[in-house]
Amino acid sequence: MQLAAQLTQEDGLVLGEIGLVLIALGIAAFFASRLKFSAVPIFLCAGLFFGNGGIVELNLSDDFLNLGAQIGAILLLLLLGLEYSAGELVETVKARKSLGFVDVILNGAPGALFGFLMGWGLVGALVLGGITFVSSSGIAAQLIKDGSLTGLHSTKRAISVLVIEDLFLAVYLPILSAIIASVALVTGLISISIALLIAGGALLLAARGLHIPHAPNIMGDSATLLLTVFGAALLASGLATYIGFSGAVAAFLVGLILTGDVAIVARVRLAPLRDLFAAIFFLFFGLQTDPLDIPSVLIPALLLTVIGVGSKWLTAWWAMKDEAEERGVMRVAAILIPRGEFSIVIAGLAASATFAKDLQSLTITYVILTTVIASLLIRFCSNRPERYLSS
């Protein structure tokens, strides 16, 4: 093992470059926060700027960025699973069955159709359908915070849509991972069956109310909890990757199983770590994309953006149809429009597909456009009053 004291001058330059990039991302995130604008497009554009084919190509460590991006994806989905219990997800779906169905049709079908039109076949249709369907819970949460929309009636409706989409992901991601990894019909059916069993088992276990109290005599201090939960997510991800399953999806299922005090404390403790590696995750995706590939998919990306904004607006109207509140519909739409980490995770699952290069360019453009539009809408909405939920 090479000790820190034995690092070469070239290693020192690589460390310095990584440090400078992280400082630049931190400064960009600061200004984005001050402007109440999502930092995700900035991180993606930074990757395009510094990556292969970019204006300035840095000699960054591929191993560090790749590992950091993987940890970022694991943390993003782990904390998503920790946000909800399976019982809450099921109750939300029961209360708003038609909303989930409308959301899937309005937002998943256009992407699936584009996948066929792009000549990517059934797998491409399934992948692109998921990319256009799912909103970004992380960006939505930041937009709600930046726009001071917490507690609004429309915000609760938007969150119910996000919860339904998260439940959809719990089933969709394992199946998609199995389909992409399949090499034959029989193998594919077995892989899909295993994926369904894993997802269903995790949901069933969580729905039965697995509650682990966070008490010092059980879990020790916060450091013990942090290391245990994060270690469990990494272990599950490593084992899942070894058997050909998605490691990020395994982390999501781990988070979904953990509920109660453990989930609450883990969310607080892991949030800063998630923010750090999420920035690396978005940066890495941008670094992998050649900016010269974007013009070839710009028209499809623009069309998908126009359709995606319109379809989420229709979803927002459906969610608020019992409320005669036009501004509320606009707020729900603004929260649902951005696609982000999950769209990129889905695109990453298809990294081995023949169309992966075009899909990557299309996804990064689509995420940037939808996030910018949503950020602008939130800034407009935050200046408009609306009634708050009664306690």
What tens digit of pLDDT does each residue of 349-387 get?
Answer: 888 788 888 998 999 899 989 988 988 888 777 655 554
What is the domain range of residue 208?
A: 73-381
Query: Which tens digits make up the pLDDT trace of 158-187?
Result: 877 887 887 777 778 777 877 776 644 445
Half-sphere CA count of 134, side-chain side, radius 13 A: 29
Residue 292: inside a domain: yes
Q: What is the CA radius of gyration of the chain?
A: 21
Residue 38: inside a domain: no
Residue 391: inside a domain: no
Kindly state the tokens that stand for 91. Answer: 């109750």
The three-class DSSP label of residue 155 is: helix
Transcribe 229-248 into DSSP letters.
HHHHHHHHHHHHHHTTS-HH
Residue 145: inside a domain: yes
Residue 276: inside a domain: yes
Alpha carbon dihedral 46, 108, 353, 358, in 10-degree steps, equals: -50
Residue 48: inside a domain: no
32 pLDDT band, cuts 50/70/90, is confident
Residue 55: inside a domain: no
254 pLDDT band, cuts 50/70/90, is confident
Of the two residues 239 and 355, the one the predictor is more confident about is 355
For the ranges 167-181, 204-218, 268-282, 286-300, the lowest mean pLDDT is seen at: 204-218
pLDDT computed for residue 150 by the predictor: 66
Number of domains in the chain: 1
Give the amino acid at 255: G
Residue 352: inside a domain: yes
CATH code for the domain in which residue 315 is found: 1.20.1530.20
